[in-house]
C-alpha cells in the first residue's frame, strides 16, 4: 500500500500541524480499530505476527483515560490495558506506570484526529537504553481511506521511519468475523 503512495508523497517534512490545538476527550472515547503501526522496533516482516486488534478509550474514575486493547491470536483473545494521564499539551498524555515498577516513562500524543474516522497517535518511551517510537493509525472502521493513509505515511516519514518500519494487520484473515466489520473489498 505504501509503495502506491510513494509517488504521491515527498521525503520532506509535511506541513501538518504537529499537535492538536484542542482535544475533545469525550469525542475520542470509544472503540477504535488499530489498522496500521509503524515504529523503530517494527519491521515489515512482522506483519505476519500482527493480528487485527482494537483499542477502547474510556474515562476512568480517577479522571484518566483507560485504554483497553483486544487482539485475537488463533482461538485466543489477548487483552492488555493502561491508563493515560492528561498532560498540558492538547492530546498529550503520560502512561501511568505505577502498576509496573521499573518501567520507564512513556509519552503518548494524539497527533491528529477527526474523532469520527481516524486518529494518528505517537508513543515514545525508552527500553534497554534505546528510544522506542511507535506511530499508530486508528480508524473507527476497518476501512482505511486514502487521505488517512496519506497522513499516516507523512507522519511516519516525518518521524524518520521508512516503509520497512510499517506493518498492517492481515484484515483479510479469519479474525474479523467477530469484530463487527470487515474490510471494504474496494
Cell 520497512, residue?
Answer: 164
59-75 pLDDT per residue, tens: 999 889 999 999 988 88
Which among 61, 60, 78 is positioned nearest to 69, based on CA atoms? 78
Q: What's the CATH number of domain 25-170, 3.40.50.1100, 2.40.128.20, 1.20.1600.10, 3.40.50.620? A: 2.40.128.20
Distances from the Cα of 64 to the Cα of 19, 60, 86, 101, 108, angstroms: 20, 5, 7, 19, 13
Instruction: Tell me if 148 sits within 8 A of 32, measured CB to CB.
Output: no
pTM of the predicted protein model: 0.81
Supply 149's cell numbers.
Answer: 493513509
87-99 pLDDT per residue, tens: 988 999 999 977 6
- Alpha helix (H) residue ranges in the chain: 2-6, 25-28, 146-158
Distances from the Cα of 138 to the Cα of 52, 124, 129, 130, 164, angstroms: 11, 17, 28, 25, 19
Amino acid at each position: 500500500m505504501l509503495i502506491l503512495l510513494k509517488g504521491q508523497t515527498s521525503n520532506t517534512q509535511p506541513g501538518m500541524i504537529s499537535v492538536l490545538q484542542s482535544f475533545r476527550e469525550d469525542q475520542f472515547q470509544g472503540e477504535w480499530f488499530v489498522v496500521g503501526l509503524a515504529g523503530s522496533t517494527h519491521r515489515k516482516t512482522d506483519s505476519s505476527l500482527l493480528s487485527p486488534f482494537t483499542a477502547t478509550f474510556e474515562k476512568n474514575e480517577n479522571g484518566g483515560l483507560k485504554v483497553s486493547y483486544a487482539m485475537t491470536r488463533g482461538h485466543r483473545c489477548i487483552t492488555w490495558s493502561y491508563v493515560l494521564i492528561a498532560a498540558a499539551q492538547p492530546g498529550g498524555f503520560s502512561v501511568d506506570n505505577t502498576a509496573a515498577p521499573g518501567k520507564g516513562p512513556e509519552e503518548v500524543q494524539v497527533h491528529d484526529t477527526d474523532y469520527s474516522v481516524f486518529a494518528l497517535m505517537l508513543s515514545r518511551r525508552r527500553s534497554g537504553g534505546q528510544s522506542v517510537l511507535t506511530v499508530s493509525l486508528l480508524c473507527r472502521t476497518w476501512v482505511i481511506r486514502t487521505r488517512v493513509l496519506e497522513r499516516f505515511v507523512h507522519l511516519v516519514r516525518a518521524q524518520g521511519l521508512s516503509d520497512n518500519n510499517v506493518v498492517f494487520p492481515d484484515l483479510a484473515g479469519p479474525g474479523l468475523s467477530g469484530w463487527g466489520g470487515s474490510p471494504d473489498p474496494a
